[in-house]
């Protein structure tokens, strides 16, 4: 009997809510659970493991690979290009729960391409987000203020995301995220 397709978990939320931190915590907590795969994004920005877990690629190579259909999904955000590797298709075919940090701009396309999707929306109080963005050190004060003032793209209509408030202690956020992932995996 063929194995059922796995689920793609799209982790979304505005900058500074702690998406990468929660994903790293869940990766550690679920490290021995072979049902889960945490996919690394490809970004046209230099790698900084302390700030964002991703693989870097120069813009020209990214364009070439994207045009050749070598990514599962790709999108633009914050003057950068982002993609998820094709390996996620193999993991889904093997029945895995694949967790990926994506932009809300690509959710509708992902849902069209991967019907077995779940969306986890990470939120945090604006004061927490501001503190985290300042600590990250990638933007000036004016850029951070503008980022916080920008309205985030909505999750497409008809989607009911799992919402996790990551304003408090990291352990609470990671626990909530891990519980959500286990619930999604149990529904496969």
Q: Is 69 annotated as a binding residue?
A: no
User: What span, in angstroms and rounded, lies between the C-alpha atoms of 170 and 178?
Assistant: 12
Residue 50 clears pLDDT 60, i.e. is over it: no
- Which has the closest alpha carbon to 98: 4, 9, 5? 9
33 among annotated binding-site residues: no
Q: Report the predicted TM-score, pTM, of the whole model to 2 decimal places.
A: 0.86
Report, as an integer, the average pLDDT of 70-77.
93
13 in a labelled binding site: yes
What is the architecture, at CATH level 2, of domain 7-186? 3-Layer(aba) Sandwich (3.40)
Element spanning 44, H or E: none
CA torsion, points 134, 125, 110, 53, in degrees to nearest 10?
30
Q: How far is C-alpha 40 from the geometric centre of its chain's CA atoms? A: 9
Q: Is there a binding annotation on residue 103?
A: no
Question: Which of 21-25, 149-153, 156-160 has maximum average pLDDT?
Answer: 21-25
């Amino acid at each position: 009997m063929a194995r059922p397709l796995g689920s793609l978990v799209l982790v979304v939320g505005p900058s500074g809510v702690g998406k990468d931190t929660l994903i790293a915590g869940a990766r550690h907590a679920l490290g021995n659970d072979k049902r889960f795969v945490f996919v690394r994004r490809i970004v046209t920005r230099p790698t900084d493991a302390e700030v964002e877990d991703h693989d870097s690629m120069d813009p020209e190579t990214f364009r070439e690979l994207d045009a050749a259909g070598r990514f599962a999904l790709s999108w633009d955000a914050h003057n950068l290009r982002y993609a998820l590797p094709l390996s996620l298709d193999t993991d889904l075919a093997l029945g895995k729960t694949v967790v990926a940090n994506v932009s809300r701009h690509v959710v509708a396309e992902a849902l069209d391409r991967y019907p077995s999707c779940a969306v986890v929306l990470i939120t945090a109080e604006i004061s927490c987000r501001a503190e985290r963005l300042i600590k990250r050190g990638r933007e000036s004060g004016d850029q951070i203020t503008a980022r916080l003032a920008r309205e985030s793209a909505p999750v497409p209509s008809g989607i009911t995301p799992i919402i996790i408030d990551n304003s408090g202690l990291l352990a609470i956020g990671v626990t909530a995220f891990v519980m959500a992932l286990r619930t999604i995996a149990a529904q496969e």
